[in-house]
Structure 1
Amino acid sequence: MTEKKLSYRITFVLLITGLLIMLTGFIAADTAQADEIIPEEEIMSLNDIEPGMEGTGLTVFSGVEVDEFDFEVIDVLPDYQQGQDLILVYLSGEKIEEAGGVASGMSGSPLYVDDRIIGAISYGWAESDSRYALATPVEPMLELLADEEADPGSGMEELPEMKTPLITAGLSGRSQERLEADLEDFFMTDFEVVPGSDEPRMEPEEYPELEPGSAISVKLARGDVTIASIGTMTYRQDDEILAMGHPFTHRGNVDFFLGQAHISSIIPGDMPFKLGSPLPQPIGRIDQDRLAGISGGIDHYPDIVPLNIEVEDEDREVKNSIDVQIIDDEDLLISLPGLISLETLDSTLDRIGRGTAETTVRVMANELQEVVLRRDNMYYSQHDIAARSLEDLQVIMDIISNNPFQDAGLFDIEYSVTVREEDQVALLQEAEIKEDEAEIKPGDELDISVKLRPYRQEKKELEYTIELPDDINPGPASLSISGGPTRDYRPVDTDEFADEDLSASVEGFTDLEPMLLEFVELPQYNDLVMEVYPGYPGIPHWEEEEDVEEEPEPEERPAPDEEEEPEEEPEQEEITPEEVDEEERIREVESTDYVLEGELYIDFTISDDNSREVEDDELPEEDDDNGESR
């Protein structure tokens, strides 16, 4: 063997040896990391689990106390779904028989063989023998505590997952029905909205110690309205916990309330479920929501946005105030404030129907120069005043949540509304400018008469004044008289920016704050908006000529084949209201006692101060066909 070949072989062997040493180091590091989470003697590896093994599981069947149940390992299912290993088990025991099998809410119930944890119940089948269940092995669950950037996983669609019961307290009727539709895009898992309660059954100091098998709650909102799910805690190490054995929303890095729960009973059926109530006081936060389960910590709490709602039924002299803390997640904030406000309106009014509403929306955000934004308005509806009055709140939350520029740093939302059954709506019926049109000049004040027709009442005449600027162009002009916003507002559609540079402007905007300010400064629906749209300079008037002794000679007309083509007049481009610069707008906005409907236009002419009417005998003479003056 040559010296050169020997050198190559030695180098190759050294490289392989180095790689093996590195790989051994990685394996040792992973093992050490797992040992730091839970001692090796307390877990049973998936490789050691065999069919026929029997063990004990822990869960809460009623109240808050943890009970035991029996199970048998039927089989180990490696790579059952896109790389996910699962364990098929059969549950038994008196409590399981009473419940009718594995129940929704038991997800996360730990399973032990010879006092060593093997995993947690995670999936079951509907319309079958529900004593059979699938369990998630403990190893992938422990990775949630070891690695905050764990792979979210995929393939949930084909797993026989038990639907996550999403318990709502403080919602009913159409609000509860709409919640499921609104949260479809938020949940990457199957869930089912069920009514519940959030009444304190015990004081926080009476809460039992959180242990494997304890009933836990994961909340998206808490307070006078609660939106939460119930599951079971699998494992606890100091202040860190694992639970559920499957995803809650499957959104990866999250920030949800962690709390405890009280179980009323397990309701039997094709798919039994735990009927329970989240205990009001949170005890921590959930920060990971992955394929293998959820994890979080105790005594660390999520970021929230407080929502305060004040509703008054003026006719019945009933007032209602609601306070809710919503998780600071824009995908929730775009819908939950409006939905909770609708519930508050429905429960206060105790009817769905016509009426007039006066509303105020007030939001506070750290990342805006105008920290407090306020929008007042008045609404009318013949059919559903509660739903109609939510428009401003929904649009503002849509702008904040969907804008492509920045996180607003929202930290407070307030919505107040006063409702009465009175039909405070009026039709804009007639309008006129009182001045003689021939005398309207730049700088004049226009006296305007507007006649309203309130609903089933006599006409009302209102008088206003609008001043024309001194530099307004003479010529044709138009006066628009309308109610409410003079232009439609279209909420931002983030799909438009999917393939675009997000630094680009959106409909003329380059920042969030101007978008919000433009909306909150729009006229209200009870505002009368009068706006003048001037035309272009009119056709020049004949100039007054001095007397001359000689008559001008007639111009020589060109031969027919040499006739010049008439010059084309420049096209006069129409200016729409949207194209008028805000500073140049000639507009007056006056508040009224009615929601105004309709729009009126008055065309008029602005005279030129520097011109005068030309009499017929002052017009220049024209040539007749024979070239003679006439």
Structure 2
Amino acid sequence: MPSKRAGIFLFLLFSAIFFWLLPLVEAEETGYLPLSEVKIGMRGYGKTVFYGTKVETFDLEVIDVVSGKSIEDAYFVIRITDDRVRELGGISAGMSGSPIFLKDRIAGALAYGYESKDNLIGVVTPIEAMLALWGSSGTRKKEQRSLMLAMGLGQRAASFLEQHAPVRVALAFPQLFRGRSSGMTSAVPELVPGSAIGVQLLSGDADILSIGTLTYLEGDKFLALGHPFLHYGKVAYFLSSIYVNFSVSGKDFPFKVGTPIEVVGIVEEDRQSGIAGRIGVFPDSCDLQIVARDRNGSSQSFNFKVVQDERVLADILPSLFLDVLDRVLDCQCSGTIVVSVRLHARDFSFEDRFFWTSKTDVAAEGANGLDRFLRGLSQNPFFEFRPQRISLEFEHFPYFGWGKLGSLSCPASAEQGKFIEGEVTVFPYRRETITFPFRLPVPDNFPSGRAEIVIWGKGSESESRLEDTGTPMNIKEYMEKITASEKRNGFKIELRSLENESAGSYLIEVPVPLLVEGSLSQEVLIGR
């Protein structure tokens, strides 16, 4: 019979062996190959869609294994040895997330390729790092970013998107690429590891998305990409099934071009090691409408659905607005646009009119103005903006809406409790002089005696003066602050007492369709 001491020793020995083997047992049970077992020289295969919806395999070998401080910093490097990939130009944008199998067990996801001569060297995110997306999530950002496809948008709008959103590059494809390919069927393909998927932000009269590959499935949960999309953490993007139309070598790297088939789920995590979400669960969306009106009463309407994310709205809506303006105007030209903006969320509604004008490119001026407004709204300190409906209605005027104050005409005296009625002339850019009437109330308690009417154009106000309104105490004050620079049309009229400076003044604004500069003044006698 073994002694009690020997029994304790054997128990501790078996316990140590058990806990040492436990990760390997768990890896076997879940079917994945841990990074610790990945060795240089191993051969395996990956899965992706080259055309249509059919998942195919490609051959590869491991050429390096790199450990890090944590699994999120570790990776291994592969060389693709498959002729099909070589013929298509190498690793393409759209292959991100392709599951990599070694010893017939999933080891990770192809995250990105090195832009080398043959473009066949790829970096793989270990599957353990991606599985962590279902639990604790990484926070540091990898340099790799996604390629965005702007289907139905022009190249100028795509370039604007690339400059303002955290994407690797944005590529525009005209409306003709949005039709159904002859090889497409009405059936939605079953998603399996290797299937083409789309991370979609916008659908409707245009689509904005990134194509990748589904890496891993467990029930209704999925993992994909192997690198961040926008790296926004907790998110609610559309997950779409994709029909791959073709692959393009591209100027700098190859990429897949595909057509969204149907929204099939939700992306809920956008992290360093990839994206994660659920199939069969759908995110809330925002109905977006952009309407172009003209003076003849006719209109053009563009309709979309966009994800309910204030950061995404700030990233993509200005580009979309630019594209609609380019379509409607059909030129890069001077002019003025007056835009009615309506926003509706569960506990918030907003409506206002903005004014943008340019001597050279009014569409770009409008897009930049909308970008300023949306980024200001997304940074508000009061609530998270999750819009249900957004409406932009605009009218274009072919003139550059700028003018200089010319003269002021009004009576030499006025009574308290009555109105001062007068006229202001403005010299507009390359047009005839315009006269604007005004009606300035004189308060009952305004001091008797000498006073002064001062008029100045809002276009003369500096950006710092517009924003120098103190710390906003509520959302109304905040909205007034961030919209001030987008409503600089017109002029202000102030009535000041020259007899009693401590009495304060009375101020009104006169909105006119011009960015007015300059100032005027005139004395007036106030009495009973």
- Give TM-score, length-normalised by structure 1: 0.71
Cα 1:271–1:598 change in 2 (3 A) is closer
Q: Distance in 2 between matches of 1:521 and 1:600?
A: 19
In structure 1, the residue matched to 2:189 is 208
Q: Secondary structure at the match of 2:159?
A: helix
- Spell out the pairing of 1:258-269 with structure 2 (5 A cutoff): 258-268=239-249
Distance change in 2, residues 1:256/1:488 (3 Å): same
CA distance, structure 2, for counterparts of residue 234 and residue 409 of structure 1: 30
2:48 to 59, 78, 87: 59
Counterpart for residue 530 of structure 1: 493
Q: Give the equivalent residue in structure 1 for 2:137.
A: 150
1:44 aligns with 2:26: no
User: What is the CA-CA distance between 1:85 and the residue it aligns to?
Assistant: 2.8
Report if aligned partners of 1:198, 1:280 keep a CA contact under 8 Å in 2.
no
Which of the pair is proportionally richer in strand? 2
The 1-side partners of 2:246 and 2:30 are apart by 35
Structure 1 residue aligned with 2:389: 412
SS in structure 1 at match of 2:269: strand
User: What secondary structure is seen at the aligned counterpart in 2 of 1:515?
Assistant: helix
Match of 2:506 among 570, 581, 586: 586
Distance 1:293 1:465, change over 3 A: closer
Contact residue 90 and residue 118 of structure 2 kept, 8 A? yes
Deviation at 1:492, TM superposition (A): 11
Stretch of structure 1 that moved more, 61-70 or 482-491: 482-491
Deviations 1:62-93 (A, max 9, x none): 22111111122334333398863323322223
Change (3 A) 1:110 1:518: closer
SS at match of 1:104: coil
CA distance in 1 between counterparts of 2:185 and 2:458 reads: 50
Question: Which of the numbers 176, 195, 201 marks the counterpart of 2:158?
Answer: 176
Match of 2:303 in 1: 323
Give the structure with higher Rg (CA): 1
C-alpha contact 1:263 1:274 (8 A) present in aligned 2? no
| CA deviation vs aligned residue, 1:330-389 (integer Å, no higher than 9, x gap) | 222234222211110111110121234332111113223xx3x22135554332233344
Aligned counterparts of 1:297 and 1:457: Cα–Cα separation in 2: 59
- 1:402 corresponds to: 379
Determine if the alignment matches structure 1 residue 73 to structure 2 residue 50: no
- Give the Å deviation of 1:150: 1.9
Q: Distance in 1 between matches of 2:152 and 2:403?
A: 37
1:273 positional shift: 2.1
Alignment of 1:251 onto 2:232: yes
**1:289, distance to aligned residue in structure 2 (A):** 2.2
1:603 pairs with one of 506, 509, 522: 522
* Separation (CA, whole Å) in 2 of partners of 1:249 and 1:232: 16
- Which of the residues 493, 497, 507 maps onto 2:470? 507
3-state SS of paired residue (2:262)? coil
Deviation at 1:418, TM superposition (A): 1.6
Change (3 A) 1:425 1:250: closer
Cα distance in 1 for residues equivalent to 2:490 and 2:339:
14
Distance in structure 2 (CA, Å) of the matches to 1:382 and 1:530: 27
Superposed counterparts of 1:79-228, under 5 Å: 79=68, 84-145=73-134, 147=135, 149-154=136-141, 156-157=142-143, 161=144, 164-184=146-166, 191-196=168-173, 197-201=177-181, 205-228=186-209
Tell me if the contact between 1:264 and 1:274 (Cα under 8 Å) persists in the aligned partners.
no
> What SS does structure 1 have at the residue aligned with 2:137?
coil
**Does structure 1 residue 477 correspond to structure 2 residue 451?**
yes
1:310 aligns with 2:291: yes
User: What's the offset of the Cα at 1:255?
Assistant: 2.0
C-alpha distance in structure 2 between counterparts of 1:282 and 1:208, whole Å? 12
SS at match of 1:300: coil
Distance in 1 (alpha carbons) for counterparts of 2:367 and 2:121: 47
Note if contact 2:459-2:517 (Cα within 8 Å) is conserved in structure 1: no
Task: For 2:130 and 2:347, locate their aligned partners in 1 and report how far apart those are by CA, in whole Å.
Answer: 37
Residue pairs, 1:349-428, within 5 angstroms: 349-368=329-348, 371=349, 373-377=350-354, 379-389=356-366, 393-394=370-371, 396-422=373-399, 427-428=404-405
Contact kept? 1:361, 1:375, Cα under 8 Å: yes
Is the Cα contact below 8 Å between 2:184 and 2:243 reproduced in 1?
Answer: no
Which range moves more in the overlay, 210-219 or 271-280? 271-280
Shift of 1:529: 4.1
CA contact (8 A) 2:93 2:256 kept: no
Would you say the 8 A contact 2:199–2:211 is kept in 1? yes
Tell me how far apart the structure 2 counterparts of residues 150 and 26 of structure 1 sit (CA, whole Å): 25
How far apart in 1 are the matches of 2:187 and 2:422?
71
The separation in 2 between residues aligned to 1:105 and 1:85, in whole angstroms, is 22
What root-mean-square deviation, in Å, do the aligned CA atoms of Structure 1 and Structure 2 show?
Answer: 3.9
Q: TM-score, normalised by structure 2?
A: 0.83
- Structure 2, unaligned runs of 5 or more: 1-7
Partner SS for 2:74: strand
Structure 1 contact 42–116 (Cα < 8 Å) conserved = yes
Whole-angstrom distance in 2 between the partners of 1:303 and 1:492: 36
Contact kept, 8 Å, 1:259 with 1:281, in 2: the verdict is yes
Letter in 1 for 2:476: E
Q: Is the 8 A contact 1:128 1:270 kept in 2?
A: no
Q: CA deviation at 1:517?
A: 5.4
Q: Paired residue for 1:432?
A: 409
Deviates more, 1:123-132 or 1:516-525: 516-525
Task: Name 2:255's counterpart in structure 1.
Answer: 274
The change in CA–CA distance for 1:442 and 1:486 in structure 2 (over 3 A counts) is: farther
Could you tell me whether the CA contact under 8 Å between 1:257 and 1:284 is conserved in 2? yes
Task: Give, in angstroms, the shift of residue 217 of structure 1.
Answer: 1.0
Rate the CA distance shift 1:531–1:96 in 2: closer, same or farther, 3 A. same
- Call closer, same or farther: CA 1:346–1:604 in 2, change over 3 Å: same
1:417 is displaced (CA, Å) by 0.9
% identical aligned pairs: 25
How far, CA to CA, are the matches of 1:219 and 1:318 in structure 2? Answer: 32
What is the CA distance between 1:455 and its match in structure 2? 5.2
Structure 2 residue matching 1:62: 3-state secondary structure: coil
Provide the C-alpha distance between the structure 1 equivalents of 2:57 and 2:431, rounded to a whole number of angstroms: 73
Q: Is the 8 A contact 1:64 1:208 kept in 2?
A: yes
Post-superposition offset of 1:532: 0.9
Aligned residue identity for 1:602: S
**Aligned partners of 2:221 and 2:151: how far apart in 1?**
28
SS in 2 for 1:279: strand
- Mapped partners of 2:272, 2:98: distance in 1: 16
Structure 1's 220 and 470: CA in aligned 2 closer, same or farther, altered over 3 A?
same
Contact 2:72–2:129 (8 Å) recurs in 1: no
Q: Per-residue deviation at 1:310?
A: 0.7
Task: Output the CA distance in 1 between the equivalents of 2:89 and 2:526.
Answer: 89
